[in-house]
């Protein structure tokens, strides 16, 4: 870990997923010094042993907060598909096994759903913030459908096969700004930002 002097306006985003950092960083109030795990040089993977997005988000935020004593937040998120009883859920990043790879996960999911007429699914995000002695959580959800094949090359993870309800485009065809307006992460983020704006000084 790099040498850092801690200030009360420091806030670590406890993630190794740069896509999440990119989606979130521009919305964080400018007085806050946001740092990712890459920024502080922390490379270890945090084991996600929870059964829910909330549990995993709490594990990640607690792990980093205990280690560095700096305020921090984490994001645990994933895709839940109705005809697969909510799979991949907390296993979204690891669905098709090691080595973890988004394209492999998409192929695995599409194959599992190849005979399925019910394509309904949702994305969920749970953000857990540890601020001093307070633990806060913020959630977001977006409903949609799983496409039969990839559409669009923007975004990350399952974006190219997820079409949000009321839209004709997949998340993979939307700009980051448009995705953030309706996405699970965008909704959770809005509530986090509201909290930070009023309470993080």
Binding site for ligand ITT (CB under 6 A): 15-17, 20, 48, 75-79, 92-93, 102, 123, 155-159, 171, 183, 185
**Minimum gap (Å) between residue 88 Cβ and ligand ITT:** 8
Return the number of the residue (5 or 160) whose C-beta is nearest ligand ITT. Answer: 160
For residue 157, how many other CB atoms are within 10 A of its CB? Answer: 21
**Minimum gap (Å) between residue 117 Cβ and ligand ITT:** 23
Q: Note the residue count of the chain.
A: 201
- In 31-116, DSSP assigns E strands to 33-36, 72-81
> Considering only CA atoms, which of 157, 159, 127, 123 is closest in space to residue 141?
123
For residue 158, how many other CB atoms are within 10 A of its CB? Answer: 24
Give the integer Cα–Cα distance in Å for 11 and 118.
41
Return the number of the residue (144 or 196) whose C-beta is nearest ligand ITT. Answer: 144
Active site residue 75: no
Return the number of the residue (97 or 199) whose C-beta is nearest ligand ITT. Answer: 97
Q: Which of 10, 38, 39, 76 is flagged as catalytic?
A: 76
Q: Please identify every residue annotated as catalytic.
A: 76
């Amino acid at each position: 870990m790099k040498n850092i002097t801690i200030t009360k306006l420091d806030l670590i985003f406890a993630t190794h997923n740069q896509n999440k950092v990119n989606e979130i960083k521009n919305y964080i109030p400018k007085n806050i010094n946001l740092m990712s795990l890459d920024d502080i040089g922390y490379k270890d993977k945090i084991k996600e042993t929870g059964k829910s997005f909330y549990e995993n988000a709490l594990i990640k935020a607690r792990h980093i907060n205990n280690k560095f004593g700096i305020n921090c937040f984490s994001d645990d998120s994933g895709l839940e598909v109705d005809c697969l009883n909510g799979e991949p859920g907390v296993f979204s990043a690891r669905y098709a096994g090691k080595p973890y790879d988004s394209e492999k996960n998409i192929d695995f999911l599409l194959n599992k759903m190849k005979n399925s007429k019910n394509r309904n699914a949702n994305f969920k995000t749970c953000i857990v913030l540890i601020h001093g002695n307070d633990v806060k959580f913020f959630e977001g959800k977006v409903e949609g459908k799983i496409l039969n094949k990839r559409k669009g090359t923007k975004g990350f993870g399952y974006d190219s096969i997820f079409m949000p309800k009321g839209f004709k485009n997949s998340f993979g065809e939307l700009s980051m700004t448009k995705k953030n307006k309706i996405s699970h992460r965008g909704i959770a983020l809005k509530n986090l930002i509201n909290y930070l704006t009023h309470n993080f000084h």
